[in-house]
Amino acid sequence: MTSLLTLGTMLNPSAATEPHFVDNILTIPSVAVEFGPGRFLNVQFHLAADGRWDLVNATPADQQPTLPQWLVTLINELSTTPVANPPAQIIQYQYNDATVYYLPPRCCDIMGILYDVEGHILCYPDGGITGRGDGKCSDFRNTKTQEQVVWRDERDA
């Protein structure tokens, strides 16, 4: 693992937009390295118990995966509907040894949707009236790994 302190002089923090911190993971959507390899997407650091920051993910921009056509269609549909509160986003994870795509709940009693790589709905992991989804993948929150935001609605509300 590489320490954040080691990378501190190499990163251009102004290149990062909308970083977020969830479950001791700091995710920065885009980081430009002033010299060397260039731009990275989905840069993630883990905050260790001893206060150390460990680099856990950095995808070179030129290696960003191509999205499946069904997902591009879904993104286009979401982009034409009114902006949700919070704004819609789609996050890729590894779950049960497979790539999945998660559309979080966007408002009120709407359930989040978990899709497989083919676009089939696996379950509704959260949201709804109880906030617990449909109960078919209750372990999703605790077992998902390798978070990568693949799309976020950046329109103004």
Angle at 22 between CA 21 and CA 28, to 5 degrees: 40
Let me know how many helices (H) and strands (E) the chain has, helices first: 3, 10
Strand pairing partners for 3? 54
The alpha carbon of residue 37 and the mean position of all alpha carbons in its chain are separated, in whole angstroms, by 23
CB atoms within 10 A of CB 52: 13
Q: Is the overall model pTM greater than 0.85, yes or no? A: no
Assign 3-state DSSP to the chain and report helix, strand, coil percentages, each to 5. 15, 40, 45
pLDDT tens digit sequence for 80-133: 888 888 899 999 999 999 999 999 998 778 999 999 999 999 999 999 888 889
Domain assignments of the chain as residue spans, ordered by start: 4-63, 69-152
Percentage with pLDDT > 90 across the chain = 41
